[in-house]
Structure 1
Amino acid sequence: MDELHGDRDSLAAQLRSLRLRRGLTLSALARHTSYSRSSWERYLNGKALPPRAAITEFAAAVGVPATALLIQREQEQDGRRPGSRGPLPHEESAAPGRHVPSEAPQHEGPAEAAPPSGPSRTRTALVSAVSACTALVAGILIGGWIFGGNEAEGQNREKARNEPQCREFECRDKDSQRTGCHIGAWTAAATWSGRTYIELRYSPGCRSAWARITDAHVDDTARVEGPRGARNERSVTYENDTYSPMVEAPYPASARACGVIKGKETCTSAGGPSPMPPALTDEREPARKPAPAGSG
């Protein structure tokens, strides 16, 4: 695969490796960032260099710091690769032992001695050493994140668990994954519409709720309804599952979830006070409960 896409140490190869470790599809990347599925296909296959903003959002989606990836992006934008020891682009340096040709034009007036070649070689060596050190640090950091990604992800989950990014009304219209509200969430109510599973997901840490539908079809809609007429919905655009943005819910019974499946609306009851078994706590792993017998 790397031979098809180019240099295995390229930025595109690093992005592909991180995406595969995270288990994200191109469609999932499009949902978690502000860039389309076709854009990520070009970036990950090396057809286009991703913008800095795309790198930052990608790093957040896969749970790693963005610094080393941004360093590697700048190197590739300048026409370099990590580990290169050559001078910076457009910088010329005299080869050891090279002298100014005697035919070089001279200014009128007193002759001026040519600058010594020693400082020039020192400057070139210094630039090359700095470039090599930067590439080495970037390679070590990226390698550590690729092979030690679980530790970085664990730290991110712990931070999200201890410091939710929103609470109650602050969570309205926001995404449960991007705010960390999906960590520790549980299913408070559920029902079926044919083979589609409809859930009311509840976050006690964020005191908010959202709807999730699984084994649905494109254009089917997940909708959550909260107190005082608050509601949010999202339709399936790729694959076969989706979840809505959040609404505030001070307690589970203050919200319910609905699914509009093939034009037919089906809603759960109000949320219960305790998790329904099995309690899934990660929106990256859609519920895969077996459909009830005779559900079609």
Structure 2
Amino acid sequence: MATLRELKDRTGLSLAALAARTPYSKSAWHRYLTGTKRPPRSAVEALSRLAGADPVAVLALWAAAENPPAPVPPPRREKGRPRRRLPLWVLALLGTAAAVAAAVTVAGRQGAPAPAGQGLVAVPHCHARSCQGELPDASVCARDAQTRSTVTGAGYDVRLRWSPTCGTAWSEVRVRSAQAREVSVRAGQDVLSARYPADDATGIASPMLAVPSALGVEACAAVGGRLACTGLDVEPAAPE
């Protein structure tokens, strides 16, 4: 089955290694991957997690395969040419292999925007308190994020970001030259921060705080010994 084979290739594991890391034997994985036997839900979920893919997207397609659409009448075959019949669940999954491939690709890229039509990929794997402490670029929370407040410093901008889907807020800093930086977010007594060296060109965000709205949240960044903060109910602090 194309989808499971792609997930298996992403893990870089052999069948024996898959068997060692899951409750399923090497021969069972061989049957699942060749399409001779329908894989159980737990096997699909286990392989998705080993591959670093969003199991929600893959499991949705796995469940849809139980009730495949009515098959289109096949074209007339030439005489004397044998026709191989595949199980309906294999046909259903093969028909959506392209969509799953796109979902797996996007799930493996941090901070990548969801392509049009890939609604399944946009399902967050966390919400509110379960997102606390995670980086937004490693989840789908960044995809619907809104910039609620901004302050401009000397060589960088600080933004307060909020995701209505995930119910989280965080701070981002955009530097205009390579500099070490510390990004933090505060709501009441909750404070989370992250430090990035000058040679890290991708680290821009603090961890996420679980908040019902961006009101009362303060986003700060320290770059080159200068601090700038912004928030919806605080006066932006000018850089030192």
With normalisation by structure 2, the TM-score equals: 0.49
With normalisation by structure 1, the TM-score equals: 0.41
Higher strand share: 2
